[in-house]
Every structure is written in structure tokens, then in C-alpha cells.
């Protein structure tokens, strides 16, 4: 699932490649509206987007928001929530399409922006006000926009295990299962520790680890994928999906716990304090 670092890299590439470009045509595959499209304007995705200019692309949490300026009338927005397997691809006209390509935006600069979704779980919204999408309205602050003092204060409002809190979009936006594992490893905190068990020093470590882990991930991804924004590149991760491999810090085999259909990886030596049984 794309999380903050992947989507931040995508946003950065799109800022350079598509801002100011006109959409010449929109093709839905198969013909007709694919299941991923949510047209909340009732304008029709293809009719509404043909001839509009892409004015801006921003990321909010795990959403990408395109500001679209038609030649006349008010701006509207294309909001993409890729969820588990949604990806965007920049391609040249005539370049072979990947399987499960659902939307092709033909751009006036001669390239195509394609939406691909192997599991057809993502959502592409056409909306006059992105704040009307419920998940956007309920999001917490961005991890890079919150101070340590605010982080501490917000944490007081939540209960439960710390990994579950980190992945709640109403706590901070953009962190999912994978980067929660990485942040907690960097902070040396067990993922199943209760929030109430954390010391002030551990909370500060967690905050610092959140900042550094996400920033380092952005740098790794940018260096490895360039403009191939459809690629997933996570081989740099320390623990997530590294079950049985040696911990980069101490050498202990990385543990796996599966709960609520979610994989959690951590180091039992570096992250003590849990009684959960696993590999």
C-alpha cells in the first residue's frame, strides 16, 4: 500500500511533469466507468476532464489531490486514494499498457498519465470540494507539520497499542502498516506496547523516529525509482517484510506477528516489552 513516502515522491514527480499541462482525452478501461471511479459532480469523468489544465498536485495523507482548471467555470478536483494496490504511471503514447490499467489521461505534452490497480480497491474521485470526502475531513496533521509538544498532546487523546495509534489517520496522516513497523524499530519501541506504558523519553524517541524514518524513506525512493512512479521500492526497509532476516542493528532474526489481517515485523531484542508469540 502506498504510504506517505511513496506518495510524496509521486507528488514531486508530477509537479515537474504535469503541472500546466492540458488533458486532451480520458479513456476508461474497460469502456464505461470502472469500479474505481467516484464521480461526485455528475459531470462524467471523460467529459469533465477533457480540455482542462492540471493546475496543481498536492498530497494529503494517503490521498493525491489534483486541482483542475477548465477553460470556463470554477475549478474542480481529482482525488486519488490508491489504497492497497493503486499506482500512477507516466508513459509515452504507444507504450505497452500494464495489466489492470483502468484510466488513461492523454496529456498535451505527448505523455500519458495512467491509473493502474491490480486489486481494484483504490478510489478515484471527481469532486468540487475535496473536503467533502469523509476521510479527508477527518485526517490528523501531517507528520512533518507537527511539533513534539503537539505530538505529545495529540497522543493523550488516543488509547490502545502504539502501532495501532500510529496508523490511525486521525492521529497523524499518511502512516500505514509498513512505515509504522519501521518507525517503531527506529525508536526501539515494541509495536504492542500500550500508549499508557510509554515514558516521556520514549515518546520523544518515537516522534524523532517518525520524522527521520519518513524523510529517509523519501530520499531512498527518489534515488531508486526516478520518474518510474509506478514502481514499489522498499528493499531499504529494516524490518517490515523481513521476517527471519537478521536485524540490521543487533542481528536477532526479525519476528512476525499476524493479527487482524495485518503483518507486524519487529526485533524482539531491540524492541523489548511484548508478550506476543510469533516467529
Active site residues: 2-3, 62, 262
CA dist 21 → 16, 46, 66, 114, 126 (Å): 10, 16, 12, 15, 18
Percentages (nearest 5) of helix, strand, coil residues in the chain: 30, 25, 45
Q: Distance (Å, rounded) from C-alpha 211 to C-alpha 156?
A: 19
Q: Which residue has the cell 519518513?
A: 214
Are the CB atoms for 177 and 167 separated by under 8 Å?
Answer: yes
H or E element at residue 125: strand 123-127
Q: What does each C-alpha distance from 49 to 15, 56, 58, 89 come to in angstroms?
A: 18, 14, 18, 18
- What 26-31 contacts at long range (C-beta under 8 Å, 24+ apart), as own/partner pairs, is 26/50, 26/103, 26/104, 26/105, 26/106, 27/103, 27/104, 27/106, 28/102, 28/103, 29/101, 29/102, 29/103, 29/104
Q: Which residues have a Cβ under 8 Å from the Cβ of 31 and sit 6 or more positions away?
A: none
Which burial class, exposed, middle or buried, applies to 189 when counting CB atoms under 10 A from its CB (0-12, 13-18, 19+)?
buried
Which one-letter DSSP state was computed for residue 169? T
Distance of alpha carbon 278 from the chain centroid: 27
Amino acid at each position: 500500500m502506498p504510504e506517505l513516502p511513496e506518495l510524496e515522491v509521486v507528488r514531486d514527480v508530477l509537479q515537474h511533469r504535469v503541472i500546466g499541462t492540458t488533458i486532451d482525452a480520458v479513456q476508461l478501461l474497460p469502456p464505461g466507468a470502472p469500479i474505481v471511479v467516484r464521480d461526485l459532480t455528475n459531470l462524467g469523468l471523460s467529459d469533465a476532464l477533457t480540455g482542462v489544465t492540471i493546475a496543481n498536485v498536492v498530497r494529503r495523507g494517503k490521498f493525491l489531490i489534483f486541482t483542475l482548471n477548465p477553460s470556463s467555470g470554477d475549478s474542480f478536483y481529482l482525488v486519488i486514494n490508491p489504497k492497497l494496490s493503486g499506482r500512477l504511471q507516466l508513459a509515452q503514447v504507444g507504450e505497452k499498457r500494464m495489466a489492470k490499467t483502468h484510466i488513461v489521461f492523454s496529456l498535451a505534452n505527448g505523455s500519458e498519465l495512467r491509473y493502474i490497480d491490480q486489486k481494484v480497491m483504490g478510489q478515484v474521485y471527481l469532486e468540487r470540494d475535496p473536503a467533502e470526502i469523509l476521510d479527508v475531513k477527518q485526517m490528523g496533521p501531517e507528520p512533518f507539520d507537527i511539533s513534539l509538544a503537539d505530538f505529545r498532546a495529540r497522543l493523550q487523546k488516543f488509547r490502545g497499542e502504539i502501532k495501532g495509534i500510529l496508523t490511525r489517520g486521525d492521529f497523524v496522516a499518511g502512516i500505514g502498516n509498513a512505515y509504522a513497523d519501521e518507525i517503531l524499530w527506529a525508536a526501539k519501541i515494541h509495536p504492542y506496547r500500550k500508549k499508557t506504558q510509554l515514558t516521556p523519553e520514549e515518546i520523544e524517541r518515537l516522534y524523532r523516529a517518525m520524522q527521520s524514518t519518513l524523510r529517509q524513506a523519501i530520499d531512498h525512493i527518489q534515488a531508486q525509482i526516478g520518474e518510474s512512479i509506478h514502481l514499489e521500492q522498499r528493499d531499504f526497509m529494516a524490518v517490515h517484510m523481513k521476517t527471519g532476516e537478521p536485524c540490521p542493528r543487533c542481528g536477532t532474526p526479525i519476528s512476525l506477528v499476524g493479527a487482524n489481517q495485518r503483518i507486524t515485523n519487529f526485533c524482539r531484542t531491540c524492541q523489548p516489552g511484548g508478550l506476543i508469540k510469533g516467529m
